[in-house]
Chains A and B, each alone.
Chain A
Amino acid sequence: ETGVTQSPTHLIKTRGQQVTLRCSSQSGHNTVSWYQQALGQGPQFIFQYYREEENGRGNFPPRFSGLQFPNYSSELNVNALELDDSALYLCASSSLAGANVLTFGAGSRLTVL
Chain B
Amino acid sequence: GQQVMQIPQYQHVQEGEDFTTYCNSSTTLSNIQWYKQRPGGHPVFLIQLVKSGEVKKQKRLTFQFGEAKKNSSLHITATQTTDVGTYFCAGRERGDEWDMRFGAGTRLTVKP
Please give the distance in Å from B21's CB to the nearest CB on chain A. 12
Contact B96 A102 (CB under 8 A): no
Chain A residues whose C-beta falls within 8 Å of the C-beta of B33 in the assembled complex: 101-102
**Contact status A43-B102, CB under 8 Å:** yes
Inter-subunit contact A101/B43 (CB<8 Å): no
Pair A105/B98 contact, Cβ less than 8 Å: no
When chains A and B are docked, how far (Å) is the Cα of A95 from the Cα of B60?
29
Known: A42-B88, A42-B105. A104 touches B43 (CB 8 A): yes
Give A96's nearest chain B residue, CB to CB. Answer: B97
Q: Are A101 and B45 in contact (CB under 8 A)?
A: yes
Q: Which residues of A contact B41 (CB under 8 A)?
A: 106
With most chain A CB atoms within 10 A of its CB, the pick from B6, B90, B101, B102 is B102
- B72-112 interface (Cβ within 8 A of A): 88, 90, 92, 96-105
Are A43 and B43 within 8 A (Cβ)?
yes
B59 within 8 A of partner (CB): no
Query: Is A27 at the interface (CB under 8 A from chain B)?
Result: no
Chain A contact patch, size range: 20 to 34
Interface contact B42-A107, CB-CB below 8 Å: yes
In the docked arrangement, what's the CA distance between A106 and B42, Å?
A: 5
CB neighbours (8 Å) of B43 from chain A are 43, 90, 92, 102, 104
In the bound complex, residues from chain A placing their C-beta under 8 Å from that of B48 are 99, 101
Residues of A within 8 A of B96 (CB): 56
| Complexed CA–CA distance, A33 and B105 (Å) | 19
Answer whether residue A8 sits at the interface, using C-beta atoms and an 8 A cutoff. no
Nearest-Cβ distance from residue A42 to partner chain B, whole angstroms: 4
Question: In the complex, what's the smallest C-beta–C-beta distance from A11 to chain B, in angstroms?
Answer: 17
The 4 A-B pairs at the shortest CB distance, nearest first, are namely: A56-B98, A42-B102, A104-B42, A48-B98
- Chain A residues proximal to chain B, CB less than 8 Å: 33, 35, 41-45, 48, 50, 55-56, 58, 90, 92, 99-107
